[in-house]
Structure 1
């Protein structure tokens, strides 16, 4: 009789220890979602994001994902500028070498000066700038001579730098202020590499440790939002987009800025459409986007993307866009595919707006700040 309680106690102890071991093996219950959001999705309009890195208008919560892919590490600004300078020297060498060869001749007569002017015009420098440069060089050659090739190169460099104008402010307005992110509107016609430029610029900003939000306001091109989301996802940058193709671009742009404010981002970059049925419609749309966005925050930067290979056609585009929105800077893409580096001078003179960024190549980090002296040195390398 006395042994029965002892056996019972032993059995109870074994059962209790077994249950405890089971609990410990299972561990604590995992929370649902696995994504820290600054706001509840119930407070927002629209459904959940469909892909990591996407924010639908009014949505800040991403779906549960078992594992995140490793993010790209963007190249630093200093590194990419050195690499792009070498590439620019190769692509535009015909322009620089042609001028140096003409100016280094033993005898420079009027026929040579006509050839120099033609070279400048073919490089898309523009008529006024070409004539001005030829006049200055003619005077200097008469006074200083052209016997020493090194002196000729120094003389040409000095005058080209003046034309490119290093006094222009080429800094990007991408600093957060008064608890509101900087807002950058990117405009341009289709085919110039506008969406790609937004993605590449996001990489530049991430390399500078800035928090970025992208806005896919090109709602008329089905692949634009997907393309932008892919660029952002590579570097951990979210994209605000619409579920509906052809949705109001101004609404998406506004939601992008609101998301940027709520996420305490440093910069919100908005990609816009480049084609509607007519030019007036496109310009009206851009004006509307800017007005609507400014209900949430000021637009700090309007970057116009121009394809450098289009020459004077790019000049026409620049004038039209500058009439619709207050363009603050130019991005020249595909500069590696042309020897027409003079387009830099022509556009700046026509608009009074600086070239701030240049694209040289298809690589993800083939975009860099524009530096006038490095640009001219590359031309004459």
Structure 2
């Protein structure tokens, strides 16, 4: 009996074990797919399965085999081309206006701004009776125009004598008298040539000096344009090393007309820059070397001594042909004080008067020439690049007295 019970138990255990295996294998089988439902119009289209019917092919351009990228098992390599460097901008070289054409325009401008002096004198001289009060008024007009005391006395004495001899006076006769006396004071016979052509060898060397604010660097650049317009080759020496923008300003002027600029480090020795400019001018075979110096107050002895050093260093290579002093015409008699000191240090050979178009004190031309004994050679009559012109005594006097 016990044996029968044991056999039954073993049979039950075996059956239970076999049942667990069957259930486990059934659980490992994949579940059947869910029944189809209504399509979701918001869901993206499903990928096609094996056995699905293919869609009607769309009309797309077919690519050739050369256009198809073959897989190589690696990520695509994007090759970036190096940026192409921009070519440096070369400033366009300008062709300056010829000197002759420039003078016509500047003469008219000078006449508009200066003829108040001449009109006032002619009005007084046209009075029927020229008494002492009238002659004193004439002196006042001349002194106000910065003609200077001594030149004014000479002019009045000359006019009084000629009016006394002439007797009756027509407007044309008065204008002729005044023109003759002014020409004597201005000095129609003075040599006003800017010496840039040495007799022995090139280049001609011109040094430009003056106090701060007179337009010295601008005048140097404009003078380069005048020379280039006359067919000369120019080298610019930026010896103003104390003002940061001076060398850049001068180089810009030079680039406009194709002139080479020699410059040094900011705060460097100006005499060294001037020396190098003359040296390079010789090597390049240039016609003229223009040396722009730093503006100096005439009351500063140390700065003036340094200007003398620049002159001595330059003359070790070649003699200076011109030393041009730039004066602001609006400074009047104060400009004479500046002129005296500069003349003592560097031996001025010529004067450049700037801003002559904006002042009624054109008599400074007479006064500064009388003070220094050197002629006004160039005048600046505006802010334009070509508003620097040779000084012509006849044109100046005609502008003063008007038509």
TM bracket (short chain): 0.7 to 0.9
User: CA shift at 1:374, angstroms?
Assistant: 1.0
- Measured against aligned partners, the alpha-carbon deviations of 1:196-248 in whole angstroms (never above 9, x if no partner) come to 00000000000011000000000000110011011111111111001x21100
Which residues in structure 2 correspond to 1:180-259 (within 5 Å)?
180-242=202-264, 244-259=265-280
Report the Cα distance in structure 2 between the residues aligned to 1:287 and 1:333, rounded to whole angstroms. 24
Report the Cα distance in structure 2 between the residues aligned to 1:318 and 1:148, rounded to whole angstroms. 40
The correspondence for 1:264, drawn from 267, 281, 285, is 285
User: CA shift at 1:276, angstroms?
Assistant: 6.5
Normalised TM-score (structure 2): 0.77
1:294 and 2:315 are equivalent in the alignment: yes
The residue matched to 2:311 in structure 1 has which SS? helix
1:137 and 2:155 are equivalent in the alignment: no
Judged with a 3 Å threshold, the aligned counterparts in structure 2 of structure 1 residues 297 and 149 are, in CA distance, closer, same or farther, namely: same
Of 167-176 and 148-157, deviating more is 167-176
Of 291-300 and 142-151, deviating more is 142-151
The correspondence for 2:104, drawn from 82, 88, 95, is 82
Report the Cα distance in structure 1 between the residues aligned to 2:355 and 2:298, rounded to whole angstroms. 26
Is the contact made by 1:186 and 1:302 (CA closer than 8 Å) also made in structure 2?
yes
The correspondence for 2:90, drawn from 68, 71, 87, is 68
Is the contact made by 1:176 and 1:267 (CA closer than 8 Å) also made in structure 2?
no
The correspondence for 1:319, drawn from 318, 337, 340, is 340
Report the Cα distance in structure 2 between the residues aligned to 1:359 and 1:163, rounded to whole angstroms. 21
Question: RMSD over aligned Cα, in angstroms?
Answer: 1.5
1:102 and 2:107 are equivalent in the alignment: no
Instruction: Tell me what 1:172 maps to.
Output: 194
- Measured against aligned partners, the alpha-carbon deviations of 1:315-342 in whole angstroms (never above 9, x if no partner) come to 0000010000110000000001111111
Report the Cα distance in structure 2 between the residues aligned to 1:277 and 1:344, rounded to whole angstroms. 20
Report the Cα distance in structure 2 between the residues aligned to 1:90 and 1:356, rounded to whole angstroms. 21
Instruction: Tell me what 1:114 maps to.
Output: 136
Q: How many residue pairs were aligned?
A: 317
Is the contact made by 2:211 and 2:297 (CA closer than 8 Å) also made in structure 1?
no
Report the Cα distance in structure 2 between the residues aligned to 1:368 and 1:79, rounded to whole angstroms. 10
Judged with a 3 Å threshold, the aligned counterparts in structure 2 of structure 1 residues 277 and 154 are, in CA distance, closer, same or farther, namely: closer
- Measured against aligned partners, the alpha-carbon deviations of 1:326-365 in whole angstroms (never above 9, x if no partner) come to 1000000000111111111111111110000000000000
Which residues in structure 2 correspond to 1:335-374 (within 5 Å)?
335-374=356-395
The residue matched to 1:92 in structure 2 has which SS? helix
User: CA shift at 1:142, angstroms?
Assistant: 1.2
Instruction: Please list every run of 5 or more consecutive structure 2 residues that lacks an aligned counterpart in the other structure.
Output: 1-85
Report the Cα distance in structure 1 between the residues aligned to 2:262 and 2:180, rounded to whole angstroms. 46
Is the contact made by 1:180 and 1:297 (CA closer than 8 Å) also made in structure 2?
no
Is the contact made by 1:173 and 1:300 (CA closer than 8 Å) also made in structure 2?
yes
Is the contact made by 2:97 and 2:386 (CA closer than 8 Å) also made in structure 1?
yes
Report the Cα distance in structure 1 between the residues aligned to 2:360 and 2:168, rounded to whole angstroms. 25
Q: Where do 4+ consecutive residues of structure 1 move more than 6 Å?
A: none
Report the Cα distance in structure 1 between the residues aligned to 2:340 and 2:289, rounded to whole angstroms. 25
Instruction: Please list every run of 5 or more consecutive structure 1 residues that lacks an aligned counterpart in the other structure.
Output: 1-63
